[in-house]
Amino acid sequence: MSRSVREVVLVDAVRTPFGRAGEKGMYAQTRADDLVVGAFHELVRRNPDLPTDRIDDVAVAATTQIGDQGLTLGRTAGILAGFPRTVPGQSVDRMCAGAMTAVTNLSAGIGFGAYDIAIAAGVEHMGRHPMGEGVDPNPRFVAERLVDTEALIMGKTAENLHDRFPHLTRARADEYALRSQAKTAKAYADGVIQTHLAPIAIRSAELGWGMASVDEPPRPETTLAGLSQLKTPFRSHGRVTAGNSAGLNDGATAAILASQEVATELGLSVKARMVAFAFAGVDPEVMGIGPVPSTIKALNKAGLSIDDIGLFEVNEAFAVQVLSFLDHFGIADDDARVNPFGGAIAVGHPLASSGIRLMAYLAKSFELRPDVRYGLTTMCIGLGMGGTVIWENPHHAKAA
């Protein structure tokens, strides 16, 4: 029996507004699984031609799979969202790249022919479940020096990246962070970010019910002078600060994936076509460099070069991590192709959810830039990995 590989398309991607983690954050009294359900409801509302009984699988990622982020979220959140009981589900974990991995895993199934339509999602409620809650790292990691102890603290790995590339100074990191805040503010003013937000009902014991409709973390009032005064919590006289890093956040994302022919059959929109993807490992102590080898690997699989990429969505876990990526490929710190609507330094990085947030941003850029044929989404991943997905713009004249 012969099989042909099918084209995989991104039909739509949405996310909840991202909140600040902690007891004062807007999601402090909202469950993680309810954030996923809210994203699912918005996907269905926006895509009335999607027959939910034809969803072949649901994959939901979470880094800390415990409490309301546990119990096979793909299945439980699907039931809670009202999907038919015939729709199966699963959970995924690749730390920060959880949602990205949910997308690539399901896309592989679609390309192989096992699925026609699938839903990928990611969630992290860092207020309820701090990174590392309940984990028990094997003592061999330290006893046998398999990894440096700093590999388990992401902020310290970012300081290590500054050490490895001393020309990537704190000043450059702060300048990059300021641009992220400014671009996010402009994207909000232009009504761009709002196009993929799923409003979420929230509850406060003190204030009652409300609605989350905008991101909580952005600080448009940020200045270079203010950034320069921030403390360096991971190292005395270090370079990584709360201002040039993503914060601790809560939020969820979700996306519809389908084969091209099924999307055409059902009249579903196509926001991007998957070209290639790759994951790569690096030394855990400098996990932020991970997007470099994963991007090289993905470009090779696609038969493309970095010069073919017209738009970049790079997750801003730390400014130095983005700068190391740009520096490697000879891209200027302020290149307009990179994160045109800002990034995680401004809107937040709820770990496993962020991969789909990157895809939602890229899809919007594709819509606004039909002259660009290829774009990519990439991110560093805890414990020393990188992930990259290359996409083709369906609005481009030469699109497949």
Query: For residue 284, what is the domain's CATH number?
Result: 3.40.47.10
Distance CA 115, CA 36 (A): 21
Local confidence band at 131 (pLDDT 50, 70, 90 cut-offs): confident
Question: Residue 366's pLDDT is what?
Answer: 98
Instruction: For residue 30, tell me if it sits in a domain.
Output: yes
Section 261-272 average pLDDT: 97
Instruction: For residue 97, tell me if it sits in a domain.
Output: yes
Instruction: For residue 351, tell me if it sits in a domain.
Output: yes
Give the count of domains, the chain. 1
**355 Cβ neighbours under 8 A, 6+ residues apart:** 61, 96, 97, 98, 99, 100, 101, 102, 103, 122, 253, 315, 377, 379, 387
Least confident interval from 91-100, 200-209, 319-328: 200-209
Distance CA 373, CA 135 (A): 43
Instruction: For residue 378, tell me if it sits in a domain.
Output: yes
Using CA atoms, how far residue 136 sits from 33, 116, 125, 141, 152, in Å, is 24, 38, 20, 11, 12
Q: Report pLDDT digits (tens) over 26-58.
A: 999 999 999 999 999 999 999 999 999 999 999
Question: Residue 58's pLDDT is what?
Answer: 98
Instruction: For residue 182, tell me if it sits in a domain.
Output: no
Question: Residue 17's pLDDT is what?
Answer: 98
Local confidence band at 391 (pLDDT 50, 70, 90 cut-offs): very high
Instruction: For residue 201, tell me if it sits in a domain.
Output: no
Whether 293 has a pLDDT exceeding 90, the answer reads yes
Question: Residue 4's pLDDT is what?
Answer: 82
Instruction: For residue 241, tell me if it sits in a domain.
Output: no
* Both structure tokens of 394: 């369906």
- % of the chain beyond a pLDDT of 70: 100
* Both structure tokens of 105: 């895993």
Local confidence band at 133 (pLDDT 50, 70, 90 cut-offs): confident
Question: Residue 1's pLDDT is what?
Answer: 66
Q: Any idea what DSSP says for residue 96? A: B
Look up the pTM and report it: 0.96
Instruction: For residue 96, tell me if it sits in a domain.
Output: yes
SS3 187: helix
* Enzyme catalytic residues: 96, 349, 380
- Alpha-carbon 147 to chain mean position: 26
Distance CA 187, CA 86 (A): 40
Residue for token pair 């007891």:
23
Residue 287 structural domain: 8-131+246-392
Q: Report pLDDT digits (tens) over 11-21.
A: 999 999 999 99
Residue for token pair 């690997």:
297
Section 130-146 average pLDDT: 86
Which residues lie across from 55 on neighbouring strands?
A: 117
Whether 147 has a pLDDT exceeding 80, the answer reads yes
Q: Report pLDDT digits (tens) over 170-179.
A: 999 999 999 9
Whether 271 has a pLDDT exceeding 90, the answer reads yes
Whether 132 has a pLDDT exceeding 90, the answer reads no
Whether 89 has a pLDDT exceeding 80, the answer reads yes
Higher pLDDT, 278 or 400: 278
Cα torsion 293, 295, 299, 304 to 10°: value is -120
Q: Report pLDDT digits (tens) over 194-220.
A: 999 999 999 887 878 999 999 999 999
